[in-house]
Amino acid sequence: MTNVTKIFFSPSGTTKEVVAQIAGNFESSEEEYDLLNFNSTKEFNEDDLVIIGLPIFAGRLPKTASERLAKIKGNNTPAIAVTNYGNANVGDALLELRDILVENNFNIIGAGTTISHHSIFSNVAVGRPDEDDIAKINEFAQKCKSKLESGELENVEIPGEKQGIELKQLPFLIGCDETLCAFCYDCVTVCPEKAIPDDDPVDTDFDLCSRCTACISICPEDARSFTGEAFESKKPVFEEANSERKEPEFYL
């Protein structure tokens, strides 16, 4: 192995942190591709290690992330695959990620699901990943490292079958407080769907918007946030239903 490459789609930054935590266990140079803005072909060889992290949106991978990842090809390339979620529902996402990577000629030496602070409902999984999570992530990474050094490059077995979860759009709206907005246009730049007009960062095209939270996370003025009756009515119900702690799961 000559190089570790981090690939992630991380609108709120938490999936990127998990991928970085795993990569830190390998003594090697690193490069990264952020699928929020990287939308090109790329090919790796068998001497690379690719660490891929994608978030889970309502039990599925984000459509844009899947489409962009599908352009990235391996050549018997070892990979570590992780899906990151907010303590709610893993659904079909990890199996979906597995299928994309196997189809694109990656050998998955380790896979897992990790938990981070929920990007939409702020009272779910607060403080995650915590010290216990980080310890488990590092233990997983070290086991992947040992497998890589031993030459065990066969795809890992991930239990379960796809549930056929429909890829659906959340009904929530994102508002922008024009009195707070500094018109820095960071939200325009970061939006993977080009849903925020170049000439009006206060506006959002909800037919394009995937509710990924990138614009909310990047805003230096905290001007953007979820709003509306659908969000306000769902928030307490969702937070109560997903208050019980879930643990990361890993497959080797």
User: Which pair of tokens denotes residue 136?
Assistant: 């488990």
Q: What is the mean pLDDT of residues 61-75?
A: 97
Distance CA 111, CA 140 (A): 9
Work out whether the CA dihedral 144, 148, 151, 156 comes out positive or negative.
positive
What is the 3-state composition of the chain as percent helix, strand, coil, each rounded to the nearest 5?
30, 20, 50
Domains along the sequence of the chain with CATH: 3-162+245-251 (3.40.50.360), 173-227 (3.30.70.20)
Confidence of residue 1 (pLDDT cuts 50, 70, 90): low
pLDDT at position 114 is: 98
pTM of this structure:
0.94
Residue pair 120/86 in contact by the 8 Å Cβ criterion: yes
CA 103 vs CA 95, 165, 180: distances in Å? 12, 20, 46
The position carrying tokens 């922008």 is 176
Instruction: Say whether the peptide bond before residue 62 is cis (omega within 30 degrees of 0).
Output: no
Give pLDDT tens digits for 106-153.
Answer: 999 999 999 999 999 999 999 999 999 999 999 999 999 999 999 888
CA–CA separation, 251 and 27 (whole Å): 22
Percentage, residues of the chain above pLDDT 70 = 99
